[in-house]
Amino acid sequence: MKPTRRALLAAGLAAPFLARHGWAQAKWPNGPMRWVVAYAAGGAADTVARNVGARVSDIIGQQVIIDNRTGGNSLVAETAVMQAPRDGMTFLVDAANQITNEFLIKDIPFNYEKTWIPVTRLADFPQVLAVKKDFPAKTLKEYIDAAKAKPGTIGFGTPPAAGMAHMAGEQLQKLAGIKLIHAPYRGGADAARDIGANAIDSVIITTSSIRSPYSAGTCRILAVTSEKRVSIFPDVPTIAESGFPGFDMNDWNGLFAATGVPAEIVTRMQELCAEAIKDAKVKERLDASGAILVADTPADFKQWLAGQRTLLGQLIKDANIKLE
């Protein structure tokens, strides 16, 4: 069947527009896509990436391969993505290291703000301040009073050094005027094990990590670090409502593209993630972990990162945090 004159004319008029605005949708994706995750398989960031990525796969009809590349405070994963073609087929799943590395690691061979395009914040992971079973404090105020009574004697564990849990602890110390002893752990499971074993006074870990010792009755949760209360612990107050308005220090992860990836692809990928998190099965799988799905726009994500960079950079400087 021959095309009509009207169809040919429409195609001719559409071609320049597609060339300028729609080529990415027309040509992309052209095969399996890779999301390089800077964290180990099985963790919160990996779980979100796998579930959102699987739904994106269904939507676009192309596989999203999850490639875990741990090490070097995300530098191993970041380098892998930077070395890949800038065709929108490879993305990075990263977190606070995108902000904190520049303040912690000398001689990084690139500038984070110039090298990475924020695509979307995938999820927030609210954290909790919990104490061991026989710790005397039953509220955040009592915990702070205990810390003021004996400065530098109460320990708090976080995974890892300079992570968002550590940052939340430093912010609490700064605002409350207290001095705690920081104990870094390799992961949230390790910190949860020790609080459950009565081996450390307190921890700041995600709502997912605390569930095991909390369910066993071997610890108490005093407060959550998010601005709003979390659904899995609805009776636990926030730090913000416990005397520190505006306190909002979640762990999080997000999707990034290396500079050079076309803007059309960045926009389309954010749209796909936003569609994916609306899926009932994705939400059901991730609700249990306490993850709060976000999928904000590239512009909003970029603005949020700028605010976090100012806040965390000052915290690292004030607390003189260094990586061993």
Q: What is the tens place of the pLDDT at every residue in 176-205?
A: 999 999 999 988 999 999 999 999 999 999
Instruction: Return the beta strands (E) in the chain as ranges.
Output: 33-37, 64-68, 90-94, 116-125, 127-132, 155-158, 181-184, 202-206, 219-224, 251-258, 292-293
- Is it the case that residue 130 has pLDDT exceeding 60? yes
pTM for the predicted model, two decimal places: 0.88
**Amino acid 307: pLDDT:** 96
List of domains in the chain:
30-124+250-319 (3.40.190.150), 127-242 (3.40.190.10)
pLDDT for 187 equals: 87
> What is the structure's pLDDT at 1?
38
pLDDT at residue 11 in the model: 37
Average pLDDT estimate for 303-308: 97
Per-residue pLDDT at 26: 56
Note the pLDDT tens digit of each residue in 244-260.
999 999 999 999 999 99
Task: Give residue-wise pLDDT tens across range 263-273.
Answer: 999 999 999 99
Given CA atoms 18, 22, 23, 29 in this order, what sign does their dihedral have? negative
Instruction: Report the distance separating Cα 279 and Cα 286, nearest Å.
Output: 11
pLDDT reported for residue 237: 98
Would you say residue 234 has pLDDT above 50?
yes
Give percent of the chain above pLDDT 90.
Answer: 84
9 — pLDDT class (breaks 50, 70, 90)? very low
Helix (H, G, I), strand (E, B) or coil at 30: coil
Which structure tokens are listed for 110? 């690139």
The pLDDT assigned to 287 comes to 87
Q: Which of 130-134, 230-234, 320-324 has the lowest average pLDDT?
A: 320-324
How confident is the model over 95-129, as pLDDT tens digits? Answer: 999 999 999 999 998 999 999 999 999 999 999 99
What are the φ/ψ torsions at residue 229 (nearest 5 degrees)?
Answer: -60, 155
Task: Using a pLDDT cut of 70, give the percent of the chain over it.
Answer: 92
pLDDT surpassing 60 at residue 10: no
C-alpha closest to that of 175 among 240, 115, 256: 240
pLDDT of residue 16: 39
Under the phi-then-psi rule, with left for phi > 0, alpha for psi from -120 to 50, and beta for the rest, what region is 152? Answer: left
The per-residue pLDDT for range 66-96, each reduced to its tens digit, is 999 999 999 999 999 999 999 999 999 999 9
∠211-217-291 over CA atoms, to 5°?
A: 15
pLDDT tens for 26-69 read: 589 999 999 999 998 988 889 999 999 999 999 999 999 999 99
Q: Is it the case that residue 8 has pLDDT exceeding 50?
A: no
pLDDT, position 324: 65
Q: What is the mean pLDDT of residues 154-176?
A: 96
Please compute the mean of the pLDDT values over residues 12-24 and round it to a whole number.
Answer: 40
